[in-house]
Amino acid sequence: MSVIQRLSRLLYVLSLVLAASGSGLHGRNNSVSHEYCVLGAGPAGLQMGYFLSRSQRDYIILERNTGPGSFFHIYPRHRKLISINKIYTGRRNKEFNLRHDWNSLLSDRPDLLFQRISQELYPSADDFPRYLSMFVKELGLKVKYGADIGRIKTSDLNGNQGYILTDQNGVSYQCSVLLVSTGLWVPQQVDFLGSDLVEGYESIPTDPEEFKDQAVLILGKGNSAFETAQSILGRASRIHLYSPSPVRLAWQTHYVGDLRAVNNELLDTYQLKSLDGLVEGRLEDIAIVRREKDGGKRRTLYLTLTELLDDQNGNNISKVTGQNLPGYHTDNFSLRQPYDRVIRCLGFRFNFSIFDGSARPPQSSGARGRLPGITACYEGRGTPNMFVLGTAAHSRDYRMSAGGFVHGFRYTVRAVHKILEQRYHNIAWPATELSISQLQSWILRRVNEASGPYQMFGVLGDIILLRGSYCEYLEEFPLQALPQLSALSGRLLSDHGLLVLVMQYGLNQTDTLGPGRAESEWTKAWRSNFLHPVLYYYNTLPTEKDMRQRPVSWPLPRPEAVHHMVEDFLTEWDQPISHSQPLRHFLEHCLQTDLRAFYAESCFLLSLTSRTPPLFCRQGYLRKQGIVGNSHLWQHAREAGLMADHQGDTSVSEYLKHAGAAVVSAMNFDL
């Protein structure tokens, strides 16, 4: 064999090896195809990965870093999470406990909870990536690490818009549906004169000793700003926080993204006049100028207004000195004293830069354009078949609910998955079929246990499709998409109308810590200020116009009838007079049906004296069920020859066993 032949043979074998390895990883054209591409292996991406895996869909999760949850390797900078990890609730009910577990993701594994990693109420940020790694490993999720997607463009897939994602190695990933869960990680910045003299939250030192006896100005009044201030409170000589808006306290606004008590010690030193303070003003109007001291060995920074400067040319004035400041700058101006350093803590924004042309979602109208604009079903506006998940989807409930945080978006991700199942696989939204006589106890079970509507208050609600003698119960539907209910859920509305169950805060302005802050009288339940259940009844499905014209701050349009369940200090709606009885009267009004529960003796008497016994008796007693769930009575009836050996229809019995409810109005929720 000649040298040329041997070389040709070697090249041929080498080409086979490369082709084999390439086909296994990237295909013949250095590309792969999947039905679903999930961009980002943070908590939202992994949560969606779990649902896709459980449904046995063709998917891949693409992550640019070497492990999941890489954001939490860096942030928060001072390594303390503010997400509650309350593992001792006095309850054994797992669904209820999720109300107070703000870090765990949803799965069918009851042991796959964050408490396996940490039992601290406010855990270390390092614990969260460890939990996510455990979640990936134990569920076998399909994640490809080291795939840094730098470009996303649209493609035509059999007449439908799909997407092509290209990574740093030129590998392309083609998918029919793109699920973007990259979160917010690009630091938010504001251009003003001297902004180049400002340090960023993403790069500041975290050792408090480096701020010893320094005067510090922090731009921003969110949790990152106060977290930074709190870490140096005992070392810095003076700390001022500056931003356009006054500080908003989470315990006043009920919005978890506002300032949390765990970070607010500076409020004490401000109000007790110990050198620290808060100031309001537009960031775009300020200028930071420097003044050299000690022969240039020391630099001090001054904040002033741009309009006061003698020289306003250019946005970068790092060379402008304090001599430009006019004399009246120092006359009773709040921030007239110099600072040793200025730190920017303005939060983060969505990375729009990786999207080409028609693949780029628009900026949202709220949140200063930091978030992508999405529809009520979390699909990008103008980008069909691309859905936004997690923190990046917070524009739907910005400053209204918890959709920007793990304990909120784990439920919106589940809702989006149900929408995907209906749209692309014709699998209807899961529904529980109940007889009308069971509806009240099922509603009470949900308001006392369900974690999804509790965390995503005013955003996700339970839909009850009325069908006459029975109903279909759909859990955690996106309320703003209610006009599209039939298309998104695959469930049709009947002439009997529907009920919507929502958890919401009151709209009345009140002193959240003052006297009279809560309502205790059930006859005035509509005046409740704190989180409480509200039922809306509609004859027909609200339209898109109805949603647009709904009253300000209402989650839904005006209904035919509405019922507030009075707020409860224990968040337990289980009392017969204040909670159960008013709910029953409301349901009877909407359904035009007697929903009272009766003992067997009463059903027997009513069956003899009435042409139409109450619904509870018709669906229970007259089907030979007697007092539901009492084994001694079942045995007695069989021995007396009143019933056959089998128990007959046990649907109500099984339902009540599952719901943990008694047959009378009062219910036991000590689960």
Helix (H) or strand (E) holding 434: strand 432-435
Q: What is the DSSP letter of 429?
A: P
Average pLDDT over residues 214-242: 96
pLDDT in tens, 19-46: 334 433 444 458 999 999 999 999 999 9
Residue 280 token pair: 């309001």
In this predicted structure, what is the pLDDT of residue 91? 93
Contact present, 269 and 277 (Cβ < 8 Å) = no
Q: Does residue 656 carry a pLDDT above 70?
A: no
Average pLDDT over residues 379-386: 96
Q: Which of 7-21, 400-414, 490-504, 548-562 has the lowest mean pLDDT?
A: 7-21
Average pLDDT over residues 401-428: 97
Confidence of residue 16 (pLDDT cuts 50, 70, 90): very low
187 φ/ψ angles, rounded to the nearest 5 degrees: -60, 135
Q: What is the DSSP letter of 514?
A: S
Q: CA 629, CA 586: separation in Å to the nearest integer?
A: 27
Q: Which of 445-459, 492-506, 641-655 has the lowest mean pLDDT?
A: 641-655
pLDDT in tens, 359-378: 999 999 888 899 999 999 99
Strands (E), 171-211: 172-180, 186-187, 199-200
Residue 322 token pair: 């304090």
pTM of the model: 0.86
SS3 content of the chain, % helix, strand, coil (to 5): 35, 20, 45
Q: CA 405, CA 274: separation in Å to the nearest integer?
A: 34
One-letter amino acid at 258 equals D
- Are 116 and 151 found together in one domain? yes
Q: Which of 19-28, 163-172, 191-200, 320-329 has the lowest mean pLDDT?
A: 19-28
Q: Does residue 648 carry a pLDDT above 50?
A: no
In this predicted structure, what is the pLDDT of residue 618? 83
Residue 36 token pair: 């679903």
Residue 367 token pair: 């949140």
- Are 505 and 560 found together in one domain? yes
Considering Cα of 228, then 234, then 237, then 240, what sign does the dihedral take? positive
Contacts of 509 (CB under 8 A, 6+ apart): none
Q: What b/e string do you get for 376-386 counting C-beta neighbours within 10 Å, with b at 16 or more?
A: bbbbbbebebb
Helix (H) or strand (E) holding 292: strand 286-293
- Are 241 and 322 found together in one domain? yes
**Alpha helix segments (H runs only) across 233-330:** 250-253, 265-271
Q: Quick check: is 329 in a domain?
A: yes
Residue 374 token pair: 């999405």
Average pLDDT over residues 184-210: 94
The radius of gyration computed from the CA coordinates of the chain, to the nearest angstrom, equals 30
Confidence of residue 208 (pLDDT cuts 50, 70, 90): very high
Average pLDDT over residues 216-222: 96
Confidence of residue 322 (pLDDT cuts 50, 70, 90): low
Would you call 126 helix, strand, or coil by DSSP? coil
Q: CA 526, CA 326: separation in Å to the nearest integer?
A: 57
Q: Does residue 388 carry a pLDDT above 60?
A: yes
Q: Quick check: is 382 in a domain?
A: yes
- Are 388 and 492 found together in one domain? no
- Are 538 and 621 found together in one domain? no
Confidence of residue 471 (pLDDT cuts 50, 70, 90): very high
Would you call 398 helix, strand, or coil by DSSP? coil
Residue 535 β-bridge partners: 501, 563
Q: CA 131, CA 83: separation in Å to the nearest integer?
A: 14
Q: CA 49, CA 39: separation in Å to the nearest integer?
A: 10
Longest pairwise C-alpha distance within the chain = 109
In this predicted structure, what is the pLDDT of residue 29? 59
Q: How many Cβ atoms sit within 10 Å of the Cβ of residue 66?
A: 8
Would you call 373 helix, strand, or coil by DSSP? coil
Q: Quick check: is 271 in a domain?
A: yes
- Are 35 and 179 found together in one domain? yes
Confidence of residue 655 (pLDDT cuts 50, 70, 90): very low
Q: Does residue 632 carry a pLDDT above 70?
A: no
Q: Does residue 590 carry a pLDDT above 50?
A: yes
How many residues belong to the chain? 671
Q: Quick check: is 610 in a domain?
A: yes
Q: Does residue 321 carry a pLDDT above 60?
A: no
Average pLDDT over residues 332-343: 89
Supply the range of the domain harboring residue 383: 31-183+350-418
- Are 463 and 587 found together in one domain? yes
In this predicted structure, what is the pLDDT of residue 574? 93
Q: Quick check: is 424 in a domain?
A: no
Cα separations in angstroms, 178 against 54, 61, 359, 421: 18, 10, 10, 14
Average pLDDT over residues 431-457: 96
Q: Which of 32-41, 90-99, 655-664 has the lowest mean pLDDT?
A: 655-664
Please identify, among 344, 371, 399, the residue that sits at the C-terminal boundary of a domain: 344
In this predicted structure, what is the pLDDT of residue 639? 67
Please identify, among 297, 324, 344, the residue that sits at the C-terminal boundary of a domain: 344
In this predicted structure, what is the pLDDT of residue 378? 98
- Are 413 and 453 found together in one domain? no
One-letter amino acid at 574 equals D
**Alpha helix segments (H runs only) across 426-565:** 436-449, 452-455, 485-489, 544-548
Contacts of 559 (CB under 8 A, 6+ apart): 500, 536, 537, 538
In this predicted structure, what is the pLDDT of residue 642? 56
Portion of the chain with pLDDT greater than 70, in percent: 84
Q: Quick check: is 660 in a domain?
A: no
Q: Does residue 354 carry a pLDDT above 90?
A: yes
Q: Does residue 643 carry a pLDDT above 90?
A: no
Angle (deg, nearest 10), helices 406-425 and 43-54: 40
Burial of residue 495 (number of CB atoms within 10 Å: 0-12, 13-18, 19+)? exposed
Cα separations in angstroms, 350 against 39, 359, 372, 378: 13, 15, 7, 15
Cα separations in angstroms, 15 against 1, 2, 418: 20, 20, 45
In this predicted structure, what is the pLDDT of residue 26? 43
Q: CA 277, CA 87: separation in Å to the nearest integer?
A: 36
Q: CA 585, CA 469: separation in Å to the nearest integer?
A: 17
Domains of the chain: total = 4
- Are 104 and 224 found together in one domain? no
In this predicted structure, what is the pLDDT of residue 290? 87
Confidence of residue 645 (pLDDT cuts 50, 70, 90): low
- Are 610 and 554 found together in one domain? no
- Are 337 and 360 found together in one domain? no
Portion of the chain with pLDDT greater than 90, in percent: 72
pLDDT in tens, 289-313: 888 776 656 788 988 888 777 655 5
Cα separations in angstroms, 669 against 12, 525, 556: 72, 22, 29
Confidence of residue 597 (pLDDT cuts 50, 70, 90): confident
Q: Quick check: is 13 in a domain?
A: no
Q: Does residue 57 carry a pLDDT above 50?
A: yes
Q: What CATH code is carried by the domain that includes residue 201?
A: 3.50.50.60
How does the average pLDDT of the chain come out, rounded?
87
pLDDT in tens, 174-183: 999 999 999 9
Q: CA 524, CA 242: separation in Å to the nearest integer?
A: 42
Q: Quick check: is 654 in a domain?
A: no
Please identify, among 314, 344, 374, the residue that sits at the C-terminal boundary of a domain: 344
* Residue that has been written with the tokens 């049906």 in this structure: 593
Q: Which residue has the higher pLDDT, 247 or 670?
A: 247
- Are 444 and 549 found together in one domain? yes
